[in-house]
């Protein structure tokens, strides 16, 4: 059972994301990762194993930015390794996901037929790829995410960030819990 977390804040977010993951650590996991959005793009760091491996990675290669997503993974589709660790990215879209996209295989085949290249074995990557495809078709972030959501079957909680949109986090849930909170002044 994994944990997902997103923060759109007013201070450096990487440390806050890792702190949040630690609070969810009791749920068990096999890998962990974060991604941070800034004006020019998205920076991602992932590591197999415990959160301290991710912290070591962040120590070597820090990420800066105020808005990010984080995940501890309990693998259901694809081996527990760094390639399959979340966040998953396609073009300028990064997502973390708790649960299972049951119809991911047919969605993936349709996207591959359009020339999209997947890098992981997960069901989750299809979320990022489908949102990216709708954006390539001309939709904005919110419309593309909404259109993608309407295609998924299964139970899930998802959070997404976008390159060049450091003020935007999109969250969605179906069956799985997701809690929204407001920080002071945030
Ligand atoms: N099904 C996704 C995966 O295998 C998410 C698993 C989870 O909830 O951690 O990557």
Q: Give the residue, out of 1, 119, 122, with the most ligand 1 atoms within 8 A of its beta carbon, to mutate for a pocket test.
A: 122
pTM summary value: 0.96
How many A from CA of 3 to the centre of ligand 1? 10
User: Which tens digits make up the pLDDT trace of 1-18?
Assistant: 689 999 999 999 999 999
| Predicted confidence band of residue 101 (pLDDT cuts 50, 70, 90) | very high
State residue 135's pLDDT score: 98
Atom of ligand 1 nearest to the CA of 73: 9
| Predicted confidence band of residue 185 (pLDDT cuts 50, 70, 90) | confident
Atom of ligand 1 nearest to the CA of 29: 9
DSSP sequence for the chain: --EEEEEE-SS--HHHHHHHHHHTGGG--SEEEEEEE-SS-EEEEEEESSHHHHHHHHHHS----SEEEEEEE--SSS-SSTTTSSPEEETTEEEEEEE--TTHHHHHHHHHHTT----SS-STHHHHHHHHHHHHTT--HHHHHHHHHTT--S-EEEEEEETT-TT-EEEEEEBS-------TT-
Q: Give the residue, out of 99, 108, 174, with the most ligand 1 atoms within 8 A of its beta carbon, to mutate for a pocket test.
A: 99
Identify which of 79, 78, 127 has the alpha carbon closest to the alpha carbon of residue 104.
127
User: Which tens digits make up the pLDDT trace of 61-83?
Assistant: 999 999 999 999 999 999 999 99
Identify which of 71, 94, 73 has the alpha carbon closest to the alpha carbon of residue 21.
71
Is the shortest distance between the CB of 125 and ligand 1 below 6 Å? no
């Amino acid at each position: 059972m994994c944990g997902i977390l997103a923060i759109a804040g007013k201070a450096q977010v990487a440390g806050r994301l890792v702190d949040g993951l630690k609070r969810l650590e009791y749920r068990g996991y096999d890998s962990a990762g974060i991604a941070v959005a800034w004006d020019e793009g998205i920076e991602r760091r992932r590591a197999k194993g415990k959160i301290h491996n991710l912290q070591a990675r962040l120590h070597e290669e820090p990420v800066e930015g105020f808005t990010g997503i984080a995940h501890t993974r309990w693998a259901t589709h694809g081996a527990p390794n760094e390639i399959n660790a979340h966040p998953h990215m396609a073009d300028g879209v990064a997502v973390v996901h708790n649960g299972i996209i049951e119809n991911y295989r047919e969605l993936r085949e349709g996207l591959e037929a359009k020339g999209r290249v997947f890098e992981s074995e997960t069901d989750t990557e299809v979320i990022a790829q489908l949102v990216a495809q709708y954006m390539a078709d001309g939709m904005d972030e919110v419309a593309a995410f909404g259109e993608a959501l309407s295609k998924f079957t299964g139970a899930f909680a998802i959070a997404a960030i976008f390159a060049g949109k450091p003020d935007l986090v999109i969250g969605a849930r179906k069956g799985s819990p997701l809690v929204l909170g407001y920080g002071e002044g945030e």
